[in-house]
Amino acid sequence: MDKPVNQKAWFLVLPVLVLVAFSAVIPLMTVVNYSVQDTFGNNVFFWHGIGWFQEVLTSPRVHGAFGRQLLFSAIVLAIQIPLGVAIALCMPRRGIWVSVCLVLMALPLLIPWNVVGTIWQILGRSDIGLLGRALDAMGISFNYARNPLHAWIIVVVMDVWHWTSLVALLAYAGLRSIPQAYYQAAEIDQASRWKVFRYIELPKMRGVLLIAVLLRFMDSFMIYTEPFVVTGGGPGSATSFLSIDLVKMALGQFDLGPAAAFSLLYFLVILLVSWVFYTVMTTIDRAEG
């Protein structure tokens, strides 16, 4: 005879559901409401249908921001994932240096985003910044405020400095979870360092690397504060990513209808690409497992 299921635990979840409803669902419904309506002012709205969505989907400005966003996410992922794994492999596995390395790796993650942007904004200036002055002394003219390539370089380097630690810590956790018996078997078989990494460490890290890729993609695709503080989206629109363009549309131009449609499409793109990432990587994991 089956035991009756105790449903009282749902009462513990109820406060969380209510909080999520007020903090996420209700604002989302407000955005949906704005995305299908238009107004002439005085809080008088009328039905506009999918007009704002069509305008956003056919906007060259949005297409450009979307391309820049994809390029930025691809660049930082291509750098941070291998670099984070390499750092994790070099970190000690025992002794006092383990704690020292973990603290040092966690420090960039503790710095607020606006502070990170301010640090690199000052660091890259050729008049007072350490990096800018050093490059100027070497005869390299570096000006991220006027040169689009330089703006991209400083934004990418800033993001790599800020978030590679997250990948390294996740990869290090994956490495520490590998049983010592695997290494002992590899030593008996006289496996090379590359083969140990390829056939033992990398497969065992696949789960945490999947989490790292998903987290870093979502973070990089929604990046706003750091590039806005450093470049303001410039020079021109060189570093105007989707989030910066959305804020300019909503607050700068006060186009609430297009901005609401833009934000919903933005959310759906992040959700779709994250789902594709997860599906592809889990499929590969099952095929190789």
CATH number at residue 266: 1.10.3720.10
Q: What is the pTM of this model?
A: 0.87
Q: Provide DSSP, the chain.
A: -PPPP--TTHHHHHHHHHHHIIIIIHHHHHHHHHHTEEE-STT-EEE-TTHHHHHHHT-HHHHHHHHHHHHHHHHHHHHHHHHHHHHHHHS-SSSHHHHHHHHHHHHHHHS-HHHHHHHHHHHT-TTT-HHHHHHHHTT----TTT-HHHHHHHHHHHHHHHHHHHHHHHHHHHHHTS-HHHHHHHHHTT--HHHHIIIIIHHHHHHHHHHHHHHHHHHHHT--HHHHHHTTT-STTTT--HHHHHHIIIIIS--HHHHHHHHHHHHHHHHHHHHHHHHHHHHHHHHH-
Provide the domain count of the chain: 1
pLDDT value at residue 3: 65
Stronger pLDDT, 220 or 23, i.e. the higher one: 220
Residue 29 belongs to some domain of the structure: no
Q: Mean of the pLDDT values across residues 31-45?
A: 82
pLDDT value at residue 289: 58
Stronger pLDDT, 48 or 227, i.e. the higher one: 227
The structure tokens listed for 233 are: 């989206």
The answer to whether residue 54 scores a pLDDT higher than 90 is yes
Residue 10 belongs to some domain of the structure: no
Domain ranges, residue 167 = 60-288
Determine how many CB atoms are found less than 10 A away from the CB of residue 222: 15
For 157-166, 190-199, 271-280, which range has the lowest pLDDT when averaged over its residues? 271-280
List the beta bridge partners of residue 37. Answer: 47
The answer to whether residue 2 scores a pLDDT higher than 70 is no
Tally of residues, the chain:
289
pLDDT (tens digit per residue) in 77-120: 999 999 999 999 999 988 888 889 999 999 999 999 999 999 99
Query: Residue 68 — very low, low, confident or very high, per pLDDT cuts 50/70/90?
Result: very high
pLDDT (tens digit per residue) in 149-176: 999 999 999 999 999 999 999 999 999 9
Stronger pLDDT, 124 or 207, i.e. the higher one: 124
Average pLDDT of the residues of the chain:
88
Question: Strand 45-47 vs strand 37-39: parallel, antiparallel, or unpaired?
Answer: antiparallel
pLDDT value at residue 195: 92
The answer to whether residue 70 scores a pLDDT higher than 90 is yes
Residue 37 belongs to some domain of the structure: no
Query: Residue 287 — very low, low, confident or very high, per pLDDT cuts 50/70/90?
Result: low
